[in-house]
Structure 1
Amino acid sequence: MNKSVITNTLALIATILGYTLGQPILFTVGLFALSGAVTNWVAIHMLFEKVPLLYGSGVIPARFEDFKLGIRQLMMTQFFTQENIDRFLSDSSGNASAIDLHPIIEKVDLSPAFDSLVTVIENSSFGGMLAMVGGSEAIQPMRAPFVEKMKEAVQDITSTDHFKQLLRDELEQPDVIAGMQEKVSDIIEKRLNELTPQLVKEIIQEMIRKHLGWLVVWGGVFGGLIGLIAALSNTL
């Protein structure tokens, strides 16, 4: 069960038992505990829901644009700074780019490179000889081996420290990093524009629901302790 419901129920039971059994200490402890728990529960509810006649309630949906701006500023000032982007582009030693291009190369279609090679041959002095042996169709069986060898060659080139250093030096240029920051900012901005007040409320509520429930629990505990002190002081 929800921690808030359990706390409020126990406090209410203590209040009722204290009243019906004529136990002033139990009644006071239960009443103060119920007061603390209910007050915190109402306060939590007011964070997310607009309550009529209660000024300041529904603050999260009401401050929707401020939350969006805060999220964007947090992402750009804490995560996607020039220093963090530079750190991402470098490995732990800071000597070469840590970006692995092999998966990208595997997905690249290099068939147009073979087509360009065929065109070059056809337009060269070897074009006549190629026509004599069947034209470009005669070398089509070479397409797959050519593409495979091209991928191996590109992977070998991009694996060298020299290439990685050149890539790192190029990516770390101030204008390049600034361009990356601008693109990241645009992506974040577009994603935030898709958010609605209701969705923001649900996201934040889901994030902190578990922890907010303890506010109700501790409100009941501290309220009960205050009630116990008050009850005991009256008996002295």
Structure 2
Amino acid sequence: MLKQERADYIVEALEELYPETPVPLDHTNEFTLLIAVLLSAQCTDERVNQVTPALFAKADNARDMMKLSQDEIKEIIKPCGLSPRKSKAIYDLSRILVSEHGGEVPASFEELEKLPGVGHKTASVVMAQAFDVPAFPVDTHIHRLAQRWGLTKGKNVVQTEEDCKKLFPRKLWNKLHLQIIFYGREYCKARSCFGLECPICRHVYPNRKSKVETKK
């Protein structure tokens, strides 16, 4: 099976399994989505969704968030991990949004990536899920599965993103990246499939015998 044939099959299989793709992180507006995505770094979406209601009850917009102290923010988000760094980023980016963007989250990769604590992956999630701009955010789930499925030989998420964007139609990117995440969590788990067990891995590489070790 050629690479593009594998990609086409994966699109069909994922669409059958996940015709609907709700955003995993609970949010009410662009700002709360941005904060939730920032908090999800090295933390599960489930844990983020447990923590953010208390934070957003106090501040669901940049103006209210900057009125909180970094210590207040840090205490609330502590269960998400990396709370000193994340609380500083949340406080600082809120001040920047108010001073430079009228309190609004900019719908621009360039402007988002200038914000403290916001890298390309976070910006891509916000652009895709808040503004419906085609993006293909690659996290560890997608990086691992793309390698198992023979879609990339990239040793980092940057190369994996480039390779996936070449294989999949632009109009599918926003939905597809969520479908891959959902599939990874349900079927192609990090410590159980190894490219050998799940339905898609077995279909695209029926004769594979050895584990796929993820290149990070």
Same fold (TM over 0.5): no
Name the structure with the higher helix share. 1
The structure with the larger Rg is 1
Band of TM-score, shorter chain: under 0.3
